[in-house]
Structure 1
């Protein structure tokens, strides 16, 4: 399989590129900046012509793409202005999706976000663990774009019944160097309440991408992708009693089990997170 990987120079993208290549997948990285050379194409995703050209063929880099993994974006709210975030992220995703469809590429995996669940949960979640069953609750322009991208995907697969688009609602992406800070979170339950104390190891993020590339069904589906545990040593019952005492607990959860439900990703994609911060601290 040869894939185009947008955002290949980002925190998650660099790990996804490394892990997928290790499995034998040919990865053509695409980003506005990055290390030049074989396997990388510099492209501005907000320019539709560049996207079409990059996916079609670039010199001797490749002569066609089997699937697209779209991670390229301003990666979080608050990095740039709301207008700049919208004007970058929404056109970039439309261009990638539209170009892929026009070129006959029928498998797209892309980064949605946990933010569509209602982060930073200033309005409490409807229940925990949160899952994909309730409608998006965007609370920022960044999250609004992610919600609109999911609507875009829904309509594209309606127009093209042979198309597979998978939205991976990634939690806060971490790498091992980040884990030294985690024990300090226990001092204040509010420090990380904004995403129900969740995270995702970038290596498990790459696993989710690979599972979707290999086995996602035709149509559109979205999946929460998080680690199997929380960032906290403190147990969930204690955290919930302190921060979200009125929020219903929909099912029994383990002491440190993620409150961002990954049940759907486990069931349909076979996602099985292997990495925890507890193995590094």
Structure 2
């Protein structure tokens, strides 16, 4: 496919795009800074500017693509990852503005251009636990896509609004628009730099449901979404199969979730951020369990 990808220079995108290229897709990365990776086409644009989004989404991949064209440029899929990635980077109103208006611009342009597959990054934070003041527990475990979204911060609120934006445009257009509630993204080098401390102090992982998504496995999820047609509007949790600490699920429940209703029986190291839907609907099979890189 020809893929229009926003925010590909960020923490997740710089691993997702190489995965998509390895699958044979042609990718245009639209970001404020280019991604230096073989085979990536870059275009500098501010996606909070509606005109810039339209200009970028009707652009060709590169100069050779222009020279070989016989008509207007066209993309087969849009993947929208560009965003302020969390609170406390910009003022709250700016975080909310940038994340909501950029998502509106990207989805609106894609729908009006008739691009049939739109995938955008939502977040684990929509469930209200990650950036809550004080300790907030989920309403039940494991947390699946039916769990209420209860944000109290500007970043999570922007992601909930973006999901409604996607749902509204899908209702109007009938196209496939999929939202990925992405769990804490882990890059390959972070198994060595971060995970030893996760083992010593698992409490720090509570705000992420003790879970994670390997950036390369996230690439697989995006690719599977691109290849799965006809689902209309969908929300998918994006996480690996197991949690990110070296305790059993039962031990973590006893320590942190003893008073939280359990919706289903859980495996020995099963993630609390349920990925059952991506396994059942998309056929996701993780390739990067952290235990492959560290001795438990």
TM-score w.r.t. length of structure 1: 0.95
Deviation of the 1:86 alpha carbon: 1.0
Per the alignment, residue 182 of structure 2 pairs with 170
Per the alignment, residue 86 of structure 1 pairs with 96
Per the alignment, residue 194 of structure 1 pairs with 207
Cα distance in 2 for residues equivalent to 1:203 and 1:254:
24
The correspondence of residues 222-233 of structure 1 with structure 2, limited to 5 A, is 222-233=235-246
Q: Does the alignment pair 1:76 with 2:113?
A: no
Per the alignment, residue 45 of structure 2 pairs with 43
CA distances 1:188-245 after superposition (whole Å, capped 9, x unpaired) = 3321100210110001000000000000434110000101111110111111211222
Q: Does the alignment pair 1:10 with 2:10?
A: yes
Cα distance in 2 for residues equivalent to 1:259 and 1:217:
28
User: How large is the RMSD of aligned CA atoms in angstroms?
Assistant: 1.6
Of stretches 12-21 and 203-212 in structure 1, the one that deviates more from structure 2 is 12-21
Q: Does the alignment pair 1:125 with 2:135?
A: no
Per the alignment, residue 24 of structure 1 pairs with 24
Residues matched between the structures, number: 280
The correspondence of residues 136-175 of structure 1 with structure 2, limited to 5 A, is 136-161=149-174, 163-175=175-187
Deviation of the 1:107 alpha carbon: 0.8
Of stretches 261-270 and 178-187 in structure 1, the one that deviates more from structure 2 is 178-187
Q: Does the alignment pair 1:110 with 2:123?
A: no
CA distances 1:152-174 after superposition (whole Å, capped 9, x unpaired) = 1111111112x110001111111
Per the alignment, residue 197 of structure 2 pairs with 184
Q: Is the 8 A contact 1:48 1:95 kept in 2?
A: yes
Where does the alignment leave 5 or more consecutive residues of structure 1 unmatched?
none
CA distances 1:125-161 after superposition (whole Å, capped 9, x unpaired) = 1111100112211131100010011111111111112
Aligned CA distance change for structure 1 residues 38 and 11 (closer, same or farther; 3 Å):
closer
Q: Is the 8 A contact 1:173 1:199 kept in 2?
A: yes
Q: Does the alignment pair 1:203 with 2:216?
A: yes
Q: Is the 8 A contact 1:189 1:243 kept in 2?
A: no
Cα distance in 1 for residues equivalent to 2:169 and 2:50:
17
Per the alignment, residue 147 of structure 2 pairs with 134
Aligned CA distance change for structure 1 residues 117 and 217 (closer, same or farther; 3 Å):
farther
Deviation of the 1:117 alpha carbon: 1.8
Of stretches 104-113 and 205-214 in structure 1, the one that deviates more from structure 2 is 104-113
Per the alignment, residue 278 of structure 2 pairs with 265
Where does the alignment leave 5 or more consecutive residues of structure 2 unmatched?
67-72
Deviation of the 1:38 alpha carbon: 6.5
